[in-house]
């Protein structure tokens, strides 16, 4: 089945988030080093960004590097940083031509200066683009993000800027990295792992989860379309009954 032509424009997920997993295993299967998997992972990123644009998705968040990933061997961390820099440099023109706006979430200041410089350049250059918004989660940890929001709220209470009784869900959402981004409606994880790995924990309360055994470097346009198609077959109830949802349509 060709999934793209079976996707309806009316019911597209506005925001898709992806946990790109399986680069290491993909390389191992081919008798290669882990970094070979990451290099091919970048190719899958390109395919996915293009596919998201073609399908009319507005926001795509990619978990490119978690806070926990700093604990990997230095050689792998360094190689991932180098890959990030080269991907950002090599893709700037393409992303401009495709009207993609790049953003980053996470503890960006923890990244090497060479990465932040290139990242800030692409963010600035693409900031007025109006097509897909591509959000790179880098040195990202959801618990850390929520903890920082709590700290900020606490200091705003101390300074008298907000009162404890006025705190609601928006008080928290507004202080997350994603404050101006709608919550993901679809979360994809590749490589047959069924975990959230500290990714967007607040934002995915009502997100549809999609797991595939495909290893990230093998993830192609058609895989994204298939996930979107699968999403469109689901009934999203938000705590209501199926009858209530059907009566509304
Ligand atoms: C998970 O596979 C992948 C990562 C930790 C890194 C993802 C990075 C890229 C695809 C490249 C750079 C990204 C951009 C946006 C240009 P794994 O290493 O955990 O695989 P394994 O579970 O098989 O060991």
Mean pLDDT of all residues in 6-26: 97
pLDDT of 248 reads 72
CA–CA separation, 207 and 14 (whole Å): 11
Contact 39, 80 (CB under 8 A): no
Judged against a pLDDT cut of 80, whether residue 76 lies above it is answered with yes
Task: Please state, rounded to an integer, the average pLDDT across all residues of the chain.
Answer: 96
Higher pLDDT, 56 or 248: 56
Arch. (CATH architecture) of 11-234: 3-Layer(aba) Sandwich (3.40)
Q: Map 107-155 to HEC letters.
A: CHHHCCHHHHHHHHHHHHHHCCCCCCEEEEEEEECHHHHHHHHHHHHHH
237 burial level (CB within 10 Å; 0-12, 13-18, 19+): exposed
21 labelled catalytic: yes
pLDDT of 92 reads 97
pLDDT of 1 reads 66
Judged against a pLDDT cut of 90, whether residue 2 lies above it is answered with no
pLDDT, tens digit (0-9, with 9 covering 90-100), for 226-243: 999 999 999 877 888 888
Ligand 1: residues with CB < 6 A are 20-25, 38, 41-42, 45, 62, 64, 69, 83-84, 87, 136, 191, 216
- Give the pLDDT band (50/70/90) at residue 249: low
- Give the pLDDT band (50/70/90) at residue 34: very high
Best residue among 38, 83, 102, 133 to mutate for probing ligand 1's pocket (most ligand atoms within 8 Å of CB) is 38
Mean pLDDT of all residues in 40-47: 98
Mean pLDDT of all residues in 154-166: 97
CA–CA separation, 150 and 211 (whole Å): 31
Q: Which residue has the tokens 């949802």?
A: 245
Domain extents in the chain:
11-234
Distance 186 CA to ligand 1 centre (A): 19
Mean pLDDT of all residues in 75-100: 97
Q: Which atom of ligand 1 is nearest to the CA of 217?
A: 10
pLDDT, tens digit (0-9, with 9 covering 90-100), for 103-129: 999 999 999 999 999 999 999 999 999
Which residue puts its alpha carbon closest to atom 3 of ligand 1? Answer: 21
pLDDT of 237 reads 78
């Amino acid at each position: 089945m060709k999934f793209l032509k079976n996707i309806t424009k009316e019911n597209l997920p506005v925001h898709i988030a992806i946990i790109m997993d399986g680069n290491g295993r993909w390389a191992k299967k081919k008798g290669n080093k882990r970094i070979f998997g990451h290099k091919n992972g970048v190719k899958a990123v390109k395919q996915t960004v293009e596919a998201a644009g073609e399908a009319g998705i507005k926001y795509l968040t990619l978990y490119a590097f978690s806070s926990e990933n700093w604990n990997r061997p230095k050689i792998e961390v360094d190689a991932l940083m180098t890959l990030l820099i080269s991907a950002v440099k090599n893709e700037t023109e393409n992303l401009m031509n495709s009207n993609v706006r790049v953003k980053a979430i996470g503890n960006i200041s923890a990244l090497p200066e060479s990465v932040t410089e290139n990242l800030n350049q692409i963010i600035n250059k693409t900031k007025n683009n109006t097509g897909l918004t591509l959000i790179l989660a880098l040195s990202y940890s959801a618990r850390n993000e929520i903890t920082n929001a709590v700290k900020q709220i606490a200091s705003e209470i101390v300074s008298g800027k907000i009162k404890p009784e006025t705190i609601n869900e928006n008080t928290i959402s507004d202080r997350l990295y994603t404050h101006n981004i709608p919550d993901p409606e679809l979360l994809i994880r590749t490589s047959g792992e069924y975990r959230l790995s500290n990714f967007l924990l607040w934002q995915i309360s009502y997100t549809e989860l999609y797991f595939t055994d495909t290893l990230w470097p093998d993830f192609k346009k058609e895989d994204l379309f298939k996930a979107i198609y699968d999403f469109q077959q689901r009934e999203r109830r938000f705590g209501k009954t199926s009858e209530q949802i059907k009566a509304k349509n």
